[in-house]
Chains A and B, each alone.
Chain A
Amino acid sequence: MSLDILERSKVIVCLGTGGVGKTTTAAALGYMAAKAGRHVCVVTIDPAKRLADAMGIAELANTPKKIDTAPEFDLWAVMLDPNSTFDELVQKFATSPEQVEKIFHNTIYQNLTENLSGTQEYMAMEKLHELASDPRFDLLVVDTPPARNAIEFLNAPKRLVGFLENRMFRLLISPSQSVFRPVTVATRLLLRTISKVVGTQVVSDAVEFFQAFEGMEAGFKKRAAEVQDLLSQDSTSFVLVTGTHKDTIDEALYFASRLDEYELDVDMIISNRVTPEFGNELEDSRIEVPKDIRENLEYLIRLRSAELEQLSRLSVIVGKDKHILVPLLPHDIGSLSEIQEIGEVLVDSRSTFENSVSP
């Protein structure tokens, strides 16, 4: 096995924009690690239906399920339900059953998972935290939620904690504050303006929300710090997944440029859907090749070379020996054997950028 991250990691996080084959990559990495004898759980969010079926996790379930189409391996998968993960977290941190009820009934809470960006990412991290101490697994492969940019995954805890700690509303609802220091004129005016602009309901929902969450921010904050700690350990590897188009490469470069803020490194890049290499026989004229057949090969060579030129921009992130090119398969991934097919490509040393460009 040439992929050392499969041997040395306890956590592998797959990052990338939507539609680049992140889930497939996570599944393939998990499969190969399990094949090598590791005890693996793949954590995924919202996979395409065929892929979920292939992994036997068509149903939302917050507990890992053993993939029974691969009984010989210790390979598990869980399809994360962000809503119930959040519910469990609230139950964990709440001080009373009444507080739990109040939160569950609040409109803002109900809308949070789908409408506050970063919440799903936070829940994926939360699941990761929980499974990290599960003795059944020694490797977790995490497929992060589809986002415009992968950096949202790392930003998530900060965003959610920031949301819960919103200063204005805390000022309004904190009883001690209102006794000793009356709500300032400016804040009252602000509230009135908000009511006028977007309706009074928003203000009362928000006040109710922050009242209900009172005292729980610390729990969330501590948790976020623990996850951050887990992510910065050497045994956690980051895999950046891309396609071949300019925009996914741009997003990947943007992501890498911001990684320093988190003191993290990308361990490897996997680029999916690369046009395969067919070799170059264009100058061999011993045989008369029909024009269209010749043009077809020329087209595919041009396409591949354009893709490789885009992909070579990624060499500022990792060396070409840590950049794997996965050829485009003629079909969608819909079975475990196809996940294995991708997995075999990933561990094949000929798949690196370094080795797949003919001299």
Chain B
Amino acid sequence: MPNSANLGHKKKVFDLFAQKVLVVVGKGGTGRTTVARVLAELGTKTGRRVAVIAGTSGTHFLAKEDPLLSFSSLEPGQVLISYLYEHGLGQLGKRLSSTGLASIISTAIPGIADLLVLAKIKQMERSDAADLIIFDAPASGHFLRLIATPKGLADIAAAGPLRKQSREVLEMLDDPTRLGVAFVTIAEETPVKESIETMKQLKKSSGIVPCALFINSVLPSIPGNEKVQDLSFLESTSPYYQAAKYMRTRSQSQKHYEAMAAKAFGLKPIEVPLVPTVELSEDDITYLADIVELQIRSKK
């Protein structure tokens, strides 16, 4: 079991099913994809149809044979290219490099590709394709900047056929029953501080309040850790002593940064333990899902 630091008691508990679209954000290397996968597991467990969408191509996703679970990717650059193709540039574009054209357009209108991704997600949300859509957002700052600036979003599509799309995307972003944003971080100084910074910008400029805070790679709590000083019967060079001391330092530091994040977010952090394995297996996902479920259910 992960640490269960006492982090206040009146904080709102995350409800995975309070919105149809859950956008999972976090810097690269924080384990966004793992969290998305674990949440998908919790969704299918209740019989819901869950669609996980990766915002970057080539995302390694531990899929399993489950008719309730689907996985696809929407990489912004690719989405823009297909959009251009679908809108009359298909036949004409063959002679020109479509990627070249797409990069001119996305530089002229920053955010257009991300807007198109959100439009696709909105389309899915309005259809009956899935009961829960989990979007594993691109790690780039672009995407967050886009959802943080509704005005910028409206400007992107001030004219042309994108105007309707952008209005509808804005409506979805504005409605917490339709879309929620979950943060993933690891409990270390730089990632936590950067997450807090991003969260503040998001709140300030768009009014979007994050619905969940996941702390990934949490070390296990060893009950005897506090008694490490009493291990005088062991040599201080003993591996047991060294390991206990190391774990205590790391674990205390994690608790400190977890508390810092929890306070700034005003949310009860949901801990995802670090599994000491080369690669997560389906069993590991089930294990993590059980642990997350316990935390979501508690103190409701």
Contacts and interface: CB of A to CB of B under 8 A. Distances in A.
Interface of A: 17-20, 48-50, 107-108, 111-112, 114-116, 146, 148, 162-163, 166-169, 186, 189-190, 193-194, 196-202, 205-206, 243, 245-248, 250, 276, 278-281, 287, 289-290, 292-297, 299-300, 302-303, 306, 309-310, 328, 330-332
B278 A246 contact: yes
The winner among B83, B87, B160, B228 for most chain A CB atoms within 10 A is: B160
7 contacts: A163-B107, A167-B96, A189-B92, A190-B89, A193-B89, A196-B87, A331-B253
Contacts of A248: 29
B224 A196 contact: no
B27 A169 contact: no
A297 B60 CA distance: 30
Given A107-B108, A148-B56, A295 B88 contact: no
Contacts of B47: none
Contacts of A108: 104, 107-108
B104 A330 contact: no
Contacts of B233: 287
B101 interface: yes
Nearest to A191: B92
Given A17-B29, A196-B160, A205 B108 contact: yes
A287 B234 CA distance: 8
B222 A193 contact: no
Contacts of B106: 115-116
B203 to A, nearest CB: 21
Nearest to B189: A332
B27 A300 contact: no
Contacts of B84: 197
Given A194-B101, A300-B243, A300-B247, 7 more contacts: A107-B108, A116-B103, A168-B96, A190-B89, A293-B222, A293-B228, A330-B253
B239 A297 contact: yes
A169 B104 CA distance: 10
A190 B28 contact: no
A206 B276 contact: no
B96 A190 contact: yes
A343 B284 CA distance: 36
A162 to B, nearest CB: 7
Contacts of A330: 246, 249-250, 253
Contacts of A296: 220, 222, 224-225, 240, 243-244, 247
B27 A309 contact: no
Interface string B146-184: 000000000000111110000000000000000000000
A306 B189 CA distance: 25
B2 to A, nearest CB: 13
A251 B148 CA distance: 29
Contacts of B242: 278-279
A246 B103 CA distance: 30
B279 to A, nearest CB: 6
B27 A19 contact: yes
Given A190-B96, A246-B279, A300-B247, A206 B108 contact: yes
Interface string B90-103: 00110111001101
A132 to B, nearest CB: 29
B105 interface: yes
B87 A163 contact: no
A278 B107 contact: no
Nearest to A116: B107
B107 A310 contact: no
B87 A193 contact: yes
A297 B188 CA distance: 22
B80 to A, nearest CB: 9
A256 to B, nearest CB: 16
Nearest to A282: B239
